[in-house]
């Protein structure tokens, strides 16, 4: 089972297929995981395998940001982006909004050319403080892996029964700013069930949803490292490009593909 957990609040920079030279910010436990999804492909592993550890305090995060960003600035490191991701869902941190404000202030001081991105599963968009904070980021990159309820539940496994596909799509439609949708394509088996969000039926439903949501752009990608559900396939780049072309042809929305 994959257990790629981050053991620091500020980590990297690492080269990201989608974002470039990225400094990661982990607001979740160090060597633990907290998420409102439990995706079959999560590089951190399944939730139940990583329950230890507490969320870092606001003070610990502010200290880590100050030390990390100032030190990288002194070393002359070049950053394309500062990315909130890490061991789970960053918007679950109770001080997420304050942390975004702090990070923007420090970014403007030491890395004014770097973008600020948040990778989120969109489960907390019912909270006005989270939406307001996401609007301050340069890139709010929100997950939507399938527009068919059964596939969404099998692949992303939301921890709340109440978080349905309808809730997700309504919240994405209501997002009042620049929105980037991220969709991970894969297929395989887990516990005797087939999961596949690349079929014609899936892609057509996904295109219809994206058309309704009208995001600024879409990121299409596939698995890159070991996944906890081990039979999942990496989708070949030409197939991802075909899916992206179908979306652009149908909607005119820009798509970035990472194979
Ligand atoms: S939303 Fe992200 S962190 Fe949460 S389980 Fe899925 S891949 Fe992992």
SS3 235: coil
State how far the Cα of 49 lies from the Cα of 88, in Å rounded to an integer.
13
CA of 62 to the centre of ligand 1 (A): 24
CATH number of 10-258: 3.20.20.70
Q: Which residues line ligand 1 (CB under 6 A)?
A: 35, 37-39, 42, 44, 88-89, 121, 143
Per DSSP, helices labelled H in 76-224 are: 96-110, 128-136, 149-156, 165-174, 200-213
**Percent of the chain residues topping a pLDDT of 70:** 98
Predicted TM-score (pTM) of this structure: 0.96
- State yes or no: pLDDT of 159 exceeds 70: yes
Per DSSP, helices labelled H in 76-193 are: 96-110, 128-136, 149-156, 165-174
Q: What is the DSSP letter of 31?
A: T
pLDDT of 49-86, one tens digit each? 877 789 999 999 999 999 999 999 999 999 999 999 99
The number of the ligand 1 atom at minimal distance from the alpha carbon of 143 is 1
pLDDT of 185-217, one tens digit each? 999 999 999 999 999 999 999 999 999 999 999
* Range from 17-31, 37-51, 106-120 that averages highest in pLDDT: 106-120
The number of the ligand 1 atom at minimal distance from the alpha carbon of 119 is 2
What is the band of 5 on the pLDDT scale with cuts at 50, 70, 90? confident
State how far the Cα of 56 lies from the Cα of 134, in Å rounded to an integer.
20
Burial of 252 (0-12, 13-18, 19+ CB in 10 A): exposed
């Amino acid at each position: 089972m994959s257990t790629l957990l981050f053991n620091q609040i500020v980590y990297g920079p690492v080269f990201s297929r989608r974002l470039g030279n990225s400094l990661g910010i982990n607001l979740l436990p160090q060597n633990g995981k907290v998420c409102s999804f439990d995706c079959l492909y999560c590089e951190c592993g399944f939730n139940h395998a990583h329950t230890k550890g507490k969320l870092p305090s606001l003070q610990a995060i502010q200290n880590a940001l100050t030390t990390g960003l100032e030190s990288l600035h002194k070393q002359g490191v070049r950053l394309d982006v500062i990315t909130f991701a890490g061991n789970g869902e960053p918007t679950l941190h109770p001080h997420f909004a304050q942390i975004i404000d702090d990070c923007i202030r420090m970014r403007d001081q030491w890395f004014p050319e770097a973008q600020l991105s948040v990778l989120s599963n969109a489960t907390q968009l019912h909270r006005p403080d989270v939406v307001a904070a996401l609007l301050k980021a340069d890139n709010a990159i929100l997950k939507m892996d399938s527009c068919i309820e059964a596939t969404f539940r099998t692949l992303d496994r939301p921890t709340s029964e109440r978080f349905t596909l309808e809730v997700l799509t309504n919240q994405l439609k209501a997002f009042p700013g620049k929105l980037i949708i991220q969709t991970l394509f894969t297929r395989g088996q887990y516990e005797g069930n087939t999961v596949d969000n690349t079929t014609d039926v899936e892609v057509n439903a996904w295109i219809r949803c994206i058309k309704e949501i009208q995001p600024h752009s879409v990121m299409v990608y596939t698995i890159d490292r070991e996944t906890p559900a081990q039979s999942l396939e990496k989708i070949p780049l030409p197939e991802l490009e075909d899916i992206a072309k179908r979306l652009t042809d149908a909607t005119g929305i820009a798509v970035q593909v990472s194979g």
